[in-house]
Structure 1
Amino acid sequence: MPVYEYKALDSKGKRVSGILDAESPRLARARLRSDGLYPVEIHSSSQVEVALQEPGMASRGLQMGRFLRRVKPQDRAALTRQLATLVGAGIPLVSALDTVIQQISNNALRRALVDIREEVMGGSSLADAMGNHRWLFSELYVNMVHAGESSGALEAVLHRLADLLERTVKLRNRVQAALFYPITMMGIGIVVLAFLLTYVVPIVTRLFAEAKQRLPRPTVILIGTSDFLIHWCWALLLAALMATLLVHRILVTPGGKLWWDKLKLRLPMAGSLYRRLVIARFSRTLGVLLQGGLPLTSSLAIVQHVIDNSYMAQHVEKAIQDVNEGEDLTVSLERSKSFPPMVIQMISAGERSGTMEEMLLRIAEAYEDEVETRIAALTSLLEPFLILVMGLMVGFIVLAILLPILQMSRLLG
């Protein structure tokens, strides 16, 4: 059934918009009128897709499509949790999708769910229907749903997926919240220093230039820095922009991305923190996939594309080859020297006892908790450090301004 986007006026004259499915535009307008809405504009959602494919609009359409189809991770997690609850309550899948669609406010997400519902009504499996919307549902998501449908445990799989998505969102939010204050403070400090050096300092130092006396070295340094920022600020911004573009061009290449991913793992302090994040994602994703009933090699192949680090992904790819040749997973991971001994020992214990997925989820929880603790500790140290640096910079500016004033007062006295 076609899907239409509409703009209409309600009984109070307020403008509303949304999507609905109907056999034809005429029936769509009739349905809107029956709901007490006066249709102003209505068109098929497929017209947008066709327009984006016209010559000369491919690149702009791709960027516009990505922007318009942006779905927050928490929305995807809420959708999965709602669908799992409805399926667990014994509601048929199509009816469950109908209920979820009515509660979704994101137009892009709602449109995708309407398409999925139509495909399911047409005989497709839920996994196949979701697979046609890879911008919304990842390979991990689609394969988990496929395994749940094949084993008859779709509810359990959806709940595990919801747990995984919610945990990922929660960890990301905590990291962002911990870094928000230091980053904001740093940004405000840079703006304040730029204002002092480009506006306040030139006004004050103009008096010193008129006095035509020898200035102390801190004052000379301050005046030189201020003049450089005023006259060459555009060059600094241009150089920063060119450097950013050059680095981006390098990092989008496979070799550049591999070098950068390897460097991130070896950075002092931040490297060990980032490694724990990657291992936590590896462990949680692999544990959830194994819980969903996927084979080990298939799960590792999905994890390889999920961990978002090409250097670690190389080791996972080598582990897939070794496991296919009959080698234990722990042997291959230990040989890579990228996984800590504790992780190797816990996975080995899980292999021997047949509880690998449980061990992997324990590893993920331990590392995620450790990451949160370390970030909190680092930010608690970073805040006073930033205050100290800002104090030293402002103190130097005050000192550079006061020294010639004291010198002039001494001469006058």
Structure 2
Amino acid sequence: MSRFSYKALQPDGVLTEGLLDASNRAEAMRQVEGLGFRPIRLTETANGNGAHAPAANGTPATAATTVPFWRLSSAGSSGRISARTLENFTRLLSSLLAAGVPFSRALVILHREATEPAAKAKWKEIHDLVVDGLPLSAAMARSPQIFPKVYVAMVEAGETGGFLDVVLAQIADFQAREKDLKGKVLTALLYPAILLVLSLGVLVFLLVFFIPRFQLIFKGFNATLPLLTQMIIAASDAVRSYGLFLGAAAAVVIFSLRTWFTSPAGRRAWEGFVLRVPRIGPLLAKFAMARFCRMLGTLLGAGVPVINALNVARRSIGNQILVDAVSTSIDRVKEGKPLGRSLAPNRVLFPGAVIEMITVAEESGRLDQELLRLATVTESDLDRQLKTVVAFLEPLMLFLIAAFIGTIFIGMVYPIFSLQDHIK
């Protein structure tokens, strides 16, 4: 048995504190609620024999120092949690809430059913923070390595509108869709990636062992080598003489680029570049627009004020460049301008036809329905375009690898014909 110190509100609104013994946190919560109190804080305390002053309700209060929930529950929760585990957590929590299971009890069930140690510790941490009075979105925001900003923003939207179970189901669908997309891309790139690794291995073998022997033959004939062959020989000399230094320099460059990409300035620059890439940029912008429209439509349909809905929905976009653009539009809405006209300057995110549909829906009073319809239509079109891009990516990779290997082959074979002419 463990001893818990609680702080709760009595039915008349008077704050009370006390101690109780329970086998676990869930049982302690049930005991507090059984007394007719509304728990505000529940903290496990060390058992001791010290004297305790009585609380307002006659239960002895503890003199021990309480420990915050997050310090008690964060131990051992730093392990990685797989995307599949997070998706299962999201979908199961949505199902439990939709079935009418109380929120605290649903989190207890998820913690009990978890099989991975890291997930078990993290779900307990989330439960303890929520029981301590923290919103679910705020509790998840404490673990950004597990719950991305988009995830937290959507959970906040569900809490704001009172439809958390619906939003969690949407998050699980998004996660499943993204996992399916990653699987398709990885499957399409598997064969080209194997060819690329093999071609790099062949290239290193040629540069280190094979080309130097050709170089001796060329020197014996005092023949002028083609420019391409000279470049290959120079690369061979560089790899043999400075291979270790080149490898170390490449590692430093990769580490520096990775650090820069994770910085705010580097992330903005990269996201701006990706948006300008043909086919890929418009695809990402369309995905962000669909997510923004679905979130905003769901919030407005639940009666959330438009400014609050816009502030939550913009965080679900994911791309900071587009988030900044929508933030400017929100400022225009605050000034009293219509939503359609405020979003019009963001042509990358909202094409002209979409702006017209939003404007007409806003004038007719069915903005929430139109936004949800736009999101559904855009997502269907997005699925078709993604299939096209993935189908186009595999032959493109194969062509680039074939061109790479063919260039090396030509650089090796062409001097042989030149030598034959020289001998004649």
- Aligned match for 1:304, one of 310, 314, 322: 314
CA distance in 2, matches of 1:151, 1:275: 26
Q: Which residue of 1 aligns with 2:35?
A: none
1:162 equivalent in structure 2: 172
Q: 2:356 aligns with which of 334, 340, 345?
A: 345
How far residue 372 of structure 1 moved from its aligned partner, in angstroms, is 0.8
Q: Report the equivalent of 1:402.
A: 416
Are residues 328 and 234 of structure 1, via their aligned partners in 2, closer, same or farther at CA, if it must alter by over 3 Å? farther
Q: Higher helix share goes to which structure?
A: 1
Q: 1:225 aligns with which of 200, 223, 235?
A: 235
* Deviation string, structure 1 residues 71-98 (Cα, Å, up to 9, x no partner): 2333222111112222333333344333
**Does the CA-based 8 Å contact 2:96-2:106 persist in structure 1?**
yes
1:162-190 deviations in Å (ceiling 9; x for gaps)? 22332333334334443444344334322
Question: Which residue pairs with 1:393 in the alignment?
Answer: 407
Matches within 5 A, 1:56-67: none
The worse-fitting range, judged by mean Cα deviation, of 285-294 and 395-404 is 285-294
CA shift for structure 1 position 193: 1.6
Unaligned runs of 5+ in 1: 3-19, 27-44, 52-64
Deviation for aligned residue 1:107 = 2.2
Aligned partner of residue 100 in structure 2, secondary structure: coil
Residues 167-178 of structure 1: pairs in structure 2 closer than 5 A: 167-178=177-188
- Decide which of 313, 324, 338 is 1:328's aligned counterpart: 338
Q: Deviations over 1:2-29 (max 9, x none)?
A: 9xxxxxxxxxxxxxxxxx9687999xxx
Give the conservation status (yes or no) of the 8 Å contact 1:219–1:404: no
CA distance in 2, matches of 1:245, 1:260: 16
Q: CA offsets per residue over residues 231-262 of structure 1, 9 Å max, x none?
A: 23345445444544554565555555434332
1:82 aligns with 2:118: no
State the distance in 2 between where 1:236 and 1:341 align.
50
Could you say what secondary structure the match of 1:189 adopts?
helix
Compared CA separation, residues 155 and 393, structure 1 to 2 (3 A): same
> CA separation in 1, counterparts of 2:272 and 2:149?
25
Q: Tell me, what secondary structure is at the counterpart of 2:340?
A: helix
Q: Distance in 2 between matches of 1:162 and 1:291?
A: 21
Equivalences for residues 6-405 of structure 1 within 5 A: 68-120=78-130, 126=136, 129-130=139-140, 132-138=142-148, 141-142=151-152, 144-145=154-155, 148=158, 153-209=163-219, 211-214=220-223, 216-217=225-226, 219-244=229-254, 247=257, 251=261, 254-287=264-297, 289-290=299-300, 294-338=304-348, 339-351=350-362, 352=364, 353-354=366-367, 355-400=369-414, 402-403=416-417
Distance 1:347 1:184 in 2: 47
C-alpha separation in 2, matches of 1:155 and 1:250: 38
Q: TM-score, normalised by structure 1?
A: 0.70
Specify the SS of the correspondent of 1:90: coil
Quick one: which amino acid aligns to residue 409 of structure 2? G
Amino acid at match of 1:78: N
Instruction: Judge conservation of contact 1:84–1:158 (CA < 8 Å) in 2.
Output: yes
Which structure: larger Rg? 2
| SS of equivalent to 1:335 | coil
Q: Identify which range, 68-77 or 123-132, moves more after superposition.
A: 123-132
SS in 2 for 1:214: coil
Partner Cα distance (1:293, 1:173) in 2: 38
C-alpha distance in 1, partners of 2:134/2:402?
A: 62
- Which deviates further from its counterpart, 378-387 or 138-147? 138-147
- Closer/same/farther in 2, CA of residues 357 and 69 from structure 1, 3 Å limit: farther
Aligned-pair distance for 1:324? Answer: 1.5
Q: Which deviates more, 102-111 or 273-282?
A: 273-282
Structure 1 range deviating more: 119-128 or 334-343: 119-128
In 2, are the aligned partners of 1:148 and 1:157 still within 8 Å (CA)?
A: yes
Provide the residue aligned with 1:29 in structure 2.
none
- TM-score if structure 2 supplies the norm length? 0.69
Structure 1 residue 160: Cα displacement? 2.8
Aligned residues: 360
> Structure 2: which amino acid aligns with 1:365?
E
8 Å CA contact retained: 1:280, 1:368 = no
- Per-residue Cα deviation, 1:136-155 (whole angstroms, up to 9, x for no partner): 44555456556655765443
Q: Is the 8 A contact 1:140 1:302 kept in 2?
A: no
Counterpart contact for 1:315–1:336, Cα < 8 Å: yes
Deviations 1:359-381, CA, capped at 9 Å, x for gaps: 34225404521441331243144
Once the two structures are superposed, residues 113-132 of structure 1 have per-residue CA deviations (whole angstroms, 9 ceiling, x without a partner) of 11333455566665565455
In structure 2, C-alpha distance between the alignment counterparts of 1:128 and 1:254, rounded to whole Å: 22
* Counterpart residue identity of residue 338, structure 2: D
Tell me, yes or no, if the aligned pair for 1:276 and 1:367 is still in contact at 8 Å.
no
Q: SS at 1:336's partner residue? A: coil
The answer for unaligned runs of 5 or more in structure 2 is 4-22, 26-43, 48-69
Which one-letter code corresponds to 2:353 in the other structure?
Answer: M
> Which stretch shifts more, 371-380 or 231-240?
231-240
Superposed CA RMSD in Å reads 4.0
285 and 400 in structure 1: CA distance in 2 versus 1, 3 angstrom threshold: farther
Structure 1: distance between partners of 2:405 and 2:144: 50
